[in-house]
């Protein structure tokens, strides 16, 4: 291999990491609104929750399509192993996202007989978040591979560790949604979100701490990556910064700040994501298939790179335009529908 070819898998891994990271942040808070939906019986508050994210939610899911499609196109071997290993949580996630999306549109049309769609919106959002946590947990704990093919069972992903990741992601999305509502709404709904934010923050800190202790204890390779010298000197700022951001969010919530908590929680998500990437590198299928083994033909990667270099700025530009257009707080009763 010469020239750019050795770096193509790294470039594509960066593109996929960007897509997944943006999806988790952007779709995280609108899934979180569904998780918060039944924490209030106030019909106006529920309407305002949905209205606060109505211009964004379907565009946010574009990043999931880019992440999944990019994995298939750039790393076909990894896709052929990961998909059968995680079929059940992935199918649950997709069905839940469809149910939630339908509920988003039908709930407004069905008023005042919209009780079923309330349940569909809250249930679909929570199940999608839980299933994404199962996928994350299933990947971290490893996939049984033999002769470059999945060799495990359909429920290998289901474990106490995956459950912890699932509940952690539900708590994380709920926290993002609380902080989103602090920025976008006012009055009773914002006060309700502030009351919920602290318990969600504590749940996120607990789950992140347990995962951070559990993974190096269970996987010697991860312990070696984080605690051997000189790695420990380079990597210790990452957990320290995560803890500092969690404390910053805690103080901002207690002081009544409306903007710092959201960006602080986004920072926590990104640092946790970076920690997972450091633990997994250079493997795409943990502990068995690395980036270079999983990558497609260099000619294919180059061709797709030309396409994504055009597509990615367009999606980013559209996303920035929509968020800028609908900036500002939502007024009570104001809505997209």
Q: Is 1 inside a domain boundary? A: no
Q: Check residue 334 and give its pLDDT.
A: 66
Residue range 9-36, pLDDT digits in tens = 999 999 999 999 999 999 999 899 999 9
Would you place residue 242 in the very low, low, confident or very high pLDDT band (cuts 50, 70, 90)? very high
Q: Enter the pTM of the model.
A: 0.94
Considering the domain boundaries, does residue 331 fall inside one? no
Encoded tokens for 104: 């988003």
Q: What is the mean pLDDT of residues 153-165?
A: 94
Identify the residue with better confidence: 193 or 58. 193
In sequence order, the 6+-apart residues with CB closer than 8 A to the CB of 145 are 81, 151, 285, 288, 289
Mean pLDDT of 121-149: 94
Question: Would you state the pLDDT for residue 154?
Answer: 92
Using CA atoms, how far apart are residues 133 and 159, in angstroms rounded to an integer?
A: 12
Average confidence (pLDDT) over 168-188: 95
Note down the domain range covering 203. 7-326
Task: Confirm whether 335 is domain-assigned.
Answer: no
Q: Confidence band (pLDDT; 50, 70, 90) for 332?
A: low
The string of pLDDT tens digits covering residues 249-301 is 999 999 999 999 999 999 999 999 999 999 999 999 988 899 999 999 999 99
Q: What is the dihedral of CA 276, 279, 280, 282, to 10 degrees?
A: 130
Predicted pLDDT of residue 2: 59
* Confidence at residue 17, expressed as pLDDT on a 0 to 100 scale: 93
Tokens encoding 18: 């960007």
59 touches 322 (CB < 8 A): yes
In the prediction, which pLDDT does 266 show?
96
> Which H or E element spans position 251?
helix 237-255
Q: How many domains does the structure of the chain reveal?
A: 1
DSSP 91-116: HHHHHHHHHHHHHHHHHHHHTTS-HH
Q: What is the pLDDT of residue 5?
A: 86
For 65, the token pair is 């399509």
- According to the model, what pLDDT value does residue 331 have? 75
The pLDDT mean for the chain works out to 92
User: Does 336 score more than 80 pLDDT?
Assistant: no
Under the banding of pLDDT at 50, 70 and 90, the label for residue 333 is: low
Position 57 scores a pLDDT of 85
**pLDDT score for 1:** 52
Token pair 């971290």 is found at: 140
Examine residue 28 and state whether it is found in any structural domain, yes or no.
yes
Whether residue 149 is contained in a domain is answered as: yes
C-alpha distances out from residue 114 to 46, 82, 111, Å: 12, 38, 5
Q: Is the pLDDT of residue 335 over 80?
A: no
pLDDT at 294: 94
Residue 334 domain-assigned (yes or no): no
- DSSP label at 141? T
Classify residue 207: in a domain, yes or no: yes
Q: What is the structure's pLDDT at 112?
A: 85
Helix (H, G, I), strand (E, B) or coil at 290: strand
Over residues 204-222, mean pLDDT: 92
Q: How confident is the model at residue 314 (pLDDT cuts 50, 70, 90)?
A: very high
What's the rounded mean pLDDT across residues 29-50?
A: 93
pLDDT of residue 61: 85
The answer to the question of residue 332 being in a domain is no
pLDDT value at 75 more than 80: yes
């Amino acid at each position: 291999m010469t020239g750019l070819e050795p770096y193509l898998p790294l470039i594509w891994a960066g593109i996929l990491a960007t897509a997944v990271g943006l999806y988790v942040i952007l779709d995280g808070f609108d899934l979180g609104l569904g998780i918060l939906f039944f924490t209030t019986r106030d019909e106006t508050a529920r309407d305002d929750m949905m209205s606060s994210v109505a211009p964004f939610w379907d565009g946010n899911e574009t990043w999931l399509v880019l992440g999944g499609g990019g994995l298939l196109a750039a790393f076909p071997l990894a896709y052929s192993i990961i998909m059968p290993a995680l079929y059940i949580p992935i199918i649950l996630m997709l069905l839940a996202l469809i149910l939630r999306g339908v509920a988003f549109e039908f709930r407004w049309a069905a008023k005042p007989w919209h009780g079923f769609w309330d349940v569909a919106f809250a249930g679909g959002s929570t199940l999608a978040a839980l299933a994404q946590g199962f996928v994350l947990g299933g990947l971290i704990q490893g996939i049984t591979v033999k002769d470059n093919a999945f060799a495990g069972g359909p429920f290998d992903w289901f474990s106490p560790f995956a459950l912890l990741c699932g509940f952690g992601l539900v708590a994380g999305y709920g926290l993002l949604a609380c902080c989103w509502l602090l920025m976008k709404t006012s009055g009773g709904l914002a006060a309700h979100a502030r009351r919920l934010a602290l318990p969600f923050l504590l749940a996120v800190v607990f789950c992140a701490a347990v995962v951070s202790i559990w993974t190096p204890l269970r996987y010697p390779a991860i312990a070696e990556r984080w605690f051997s010298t000189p790695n420990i000197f380079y990597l210790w700022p990452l957990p320290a910064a995560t803890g500092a951001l969690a404390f910053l969010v805690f103080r901002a919530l207690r002081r009544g700040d409306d903007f710092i908590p959201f960006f602080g929680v986004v920072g926590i998500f990104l640092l946790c994501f970076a920690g997972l990437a450091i633990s997994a590198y250079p493997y795409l299928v943990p502990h068995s298939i690395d980036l270079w083994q999983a990558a497609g033909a260099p000619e294919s990667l180059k061709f797709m790179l030309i396409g994504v270099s055009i597509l990615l700025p367009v999606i980013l530009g559209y996303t920035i335009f929509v968020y800028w257009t609908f900036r500002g707080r939502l007024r009570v009763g104001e809505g997209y529908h």
